[in-house]
Amino acid sequence: MAEQSTPEATPPKNGTLKARSAKKRSPREAVSEREPQKDAGSGDASGDTKGTWSRRRLLGTAGATGLVLGASGAAAGYAAASSADRPTPLTAVGADEVMFHGKHQPGITRPLQARGHLVAFDLAVGAGRKEATALLRRWSETARRLMAGEASASGDTDVARDAGPSSLTVTFGFGHSFFTRTGLEKQRPEALDPLPDFSSDRLDKSRSNGDLWVQIGANDALVAFHALRAVQKEAGGAARVRWQMNGFNRSPGATAAPMTARNLMGQIDGTRNPKPAEPDFDERIFVPASGDPAWMANGSYAVVRRIRMLLDDWEKIPVKAQEDVIGRRKSDGSPLSGGTETTAMDLEKADSRGSLVVPINAHARIARPDQNGGAAMLRRPFSFHDGFDADGVPDAGLLFVCWQADPLRGFVPVQRKLDRGDALSPFIRHESSGLFAAPGGAAEGEYVGQRLLEG
C-alpha cells in the first residue's frame, strides 16, 4: 500500500435518466476518462416509454406522494403516477457516463468507483488465437454498450434495467501465459516477465495470474454486477473463470467534499498519487506511442495484489502507534512532521529528544518516490471484506491495483524496499498476485487488443 493518493469520485451535474436500451449515444454525450465528475443536478430525462409502468417511475412518484399513499391507500400512489408520464430525472450518480473508445482504456485514470470486480480467465483447453480474437471482439462490444447505458446485444439479464451508466468502466488485460496459449510469444513484452518473489508473500497460486484479466468499476452495485455477469456469459466456451474478487470504496457524495479515500485500517490511504495534470504523468503511467512492442502503445501495466489486513492485530495498538507505523495522522492524513495532508513530509525533522518524528521504517517514508529512485505508480484500489474465518477473524483488506508504464520502474522497486523493513508488514499479508498488460484504448470500430491479435 504505497504512499500515493487515490482521489474519490465527485458526483456529476445535470444528470438525467437514460434507461438501458439498444439506443446508441454519440461520443459528445459521454464524459471522457479524464474529465472530472460534476456536482449533482437534474435535467430533461429520456428512456421511459410513454404509458409503460416502470419500477423507477413508481418509486420516483412514491417519494412525492408518500403521505397521501399512507393515508389513502395504494390507489392514491398509482393515480399520482399515472399523471406523470414525463420521465423521472436520474440522480447524478447514475447519469455519469465514461466513453469506451479512446486513446487509453477506461478505468485507469478514472476516480475511484464505489463498486468493483476483478476477474481473471484462462482460455479453455483447445482455445487459441482465433478464439481469443472472437472473445475480445465480443467483450469489447459488450463493454461499449454497457458503459453507454445500453443493454447487452443478446441475453441481457435486466439487472441494471432501471439504472444509468453510473460511471461504469471495463478494462481488459493480458497475462504472461496468454501469449503461450495463443502462439504470440514473440509479441510478449519484457515488462510482463513474472514479478520477483518477496519475503512477505503468502500467495495462493489458484487466485493469482491468469491468461486474461478484466477490471470492472461502477458507482452502483447492480450496474457493476450486471457487467460482471455479461462478461462471464460472453466468455462462453472460449474461457473459464480462474478467480474473481469483489471490492468497494466510499460512495460518491458520502462526504461533504471530495477527499482522499480511507482504507479498512481507518487511514487516509495515499496522498501522493501521480496526477494527470503533472507534465510527466503519461511518461510514468503509460507506454509511449513509440514503445515496444508496438501493440502496447498508450497502454499500461497493472499489478494486482490481494492484501489481507490483520485488523484484529491492528486495532489492538493505540492510535499513536498506528500513526508511527504509517507516518501520518489518522485523523486527517497530515505528515507527522506537521502541516496538512498535502504538506511535504519533512524526513529530517526530529523531536526534542533527537528522534525522527517520522520513524525510519514508517510506511509513508519508505514508499515515497523520492526514496525509490523516482519510482511511481497510479493506485486504484478497492477494499474487500469476504466474511470471517472459523476463528472469527475478518477476511478483509485491499484489492491493490496499480498502473505504470513499466513494473520494473514502478511497483517492483517500491515493493522490494517495503519488503526489507516496512513497519506496516506485520499487519498485512499479500495473498494473491497478478501482472497484466492492458493495451491502449480501442478506436471507433476497433476492439481491445486488435493490434496484437491481428497484427
Residue type, 133: T
3-state secondary structure of 427: helix
Q: Using CA atoms, how far apart are residues 192 and 419, in angstroms rounded to an integer?
A: 21
Contacts of 245 (CB under 8 A, 6+ apart): 117, 118, 119, 207, 306, 384, 399
Nearest CA among 32, 103, 109, 207 for reference residue 439 = 103
CB atoms within 10 A of CB 361: 17
Cell 483447453 locates to 125
Cell representation of residue 287 = 507506454
Q: Using CA atoms, how far apart are residues 278 and 281, in angstroms rounded to an integer?
A: 5
Using CA of residue 95, residue 101, residue 107, residue 111, what is the dihedral sign?
negative
70, exposed or middle or buried, with CB in 10 Å at 0-12, 13-18, 19+?
exposed
Q: Using CA atoms, how far apart are residues 244 and 230, in angstroms rounded to an integer?
A: 14
Q: Please confirm, yes or no, whether 269 is among the known catalytic residues.
A: yes
List 156, 162, 220, 269, catalytic entry: 269
Active-site residues, by number, are 269
